[in-house]
Structure 1
């Protein structure tokens, strides 16, 4: 069974999992999930009761949700490419530490800004949310910049799943414009390096529904209805 990643648009954090799948170089398919309409609907909740993306249907048919869990699953399949590391090694612990920071502090910093953008509210509520979110995003950028230092990638000399996850979140500043990434030259350098990567260009093209050139083993997109029909037959 070919794995399927259910990715959210527009600009879901599932972007990082698409990049990771491209780097992994193993066959996979994608299923586009529109947010908020489809992701919160009854059909998709048959696969993910929480109603969030991403979700991965694995080669064995299991369903995994949450970016951190999906990336760790892919990392276990990509140890030979050093996208992930064997559990119990210092490298595994370090990668998990960085992924956890990205998943909580870096991702979480944008939550007030997304709430303000998507749910509105009165002017005072908007001001408070933007001020709080801006302070959190700046703090997260400063911490991550210090963590990166002058290394080419978040883990050092080798790109890993952490870099894939980073680029999917870092682009959110395009929506909110609360930091100038040039104030964090280490992160700007990493951002530019990743934006030039073929897998990242592929993920952007997939989201934008442009002609996408895979350098991995992308096997095409599949409709949610088709996947659900397959699940029903299998049951």
Structure 2
């Protein structure tokens, strides 16, 4: 069976996993999961009981959930392309450290802002939560700017899957007017380079249901009901 990535719309963090699959160049399919309606359905909970995206249905019918776990799984298949590195090496430690920062500090900085958008709150509480989120986003951007420095990619001379994850999160400044990325020139340079990448353009087109041309191993989209027939065991 061809692996299936279940990606969330609108604007899910699963965006980076689509880019990662395109860069990997191996066969895969996609399953579109509308949020919050389908992602919380009983049908999708058979894929992921936590009711979140992304989830990856592997070739043997097992499920991997959580972006970090998915990128580790894909990375292990992409070491020959230097998309990730063999465990136990110094490069792997650097890759894993950057992935951890993106998943906690960078991704997490937007959490208060998403909560304020998605929940009914008293005006004073909403304002306080938004200001808290803005401060966290500014801090995370400043930290990542310092880590990137003058390198062309987050880890140096070669793009890796951490760059794919970054671009899927960094675009959230379009929805939350909290920072001007031009104040962080190194991050702005990286973001613009990634936005011009065919895999990133493909992921945007997929999310927006426009004509999408794959440069990787995309074999089409699959309905949730069809994918469930391939499920062998629940996520761990």
1:15 counterpart residue number: 15
Q: Helix, strand or coil: the match of 1:230?
A: coil
| Partners of 1:231 and 1:19 in 2: CA distance | 24
Q: Give the gaps of 5 or more residues in structure 2.
A: none
Unpaired segments of 5 or more residues in structure 1? none
TM-score (norm 1): 0.97
The CA deviation string for residues 85-107 of structure 1, in whole angstroms up to 9 with x for no partner, is: 00000000000000000000000
How much has 1:61 moved relative to structure 2? 1.9
CA-CA distance at 1:137 after TM superposition = 0.0
Q: Deviations over 1:131-182 (max 9, x none)?
A: 0000000000000000000000001000000000000000001000100000
Which structure is richer in relative contact order (CA contacts within 8 A, separation 6 or more)? 2
CA contact 2:4–2:30 (8 Å) conserved in 1:
yes
Bigger share in helix: 1
Task: Specify the alignment match of 2:204 in structure 1.
Answer: 204
Aligned residues: 232
Counterpart secondary structure, 2:30: strand
The alpha-carbon deviation at position 60 of structure 1 amounts to 2.4
Taking only aligned residues, the RMSD between alpha carbons, in angstroms, comes to: 0.8
Q: Indicate yes or no: 2:190 matched with 1:190.
A: yes
SS at match of 1:167: helix
Residue in 1 that maps onto 2:118: 118
- Comparing 195-204 with 52-61, greater Cα deviation is found at 52-61
Q: 1: CA distance between counterparts of 2:231 and 2:64?
A: 15
The SS at the match of 2:231 is helix
Runs of 4+ in 1 over 4 A off after TM superposition: none
Deviation string for 1:39-80 (max 9, x for gaps)?
011100001010000000112221000000000100000000
Normalised TM-score (structure 2): 0.97
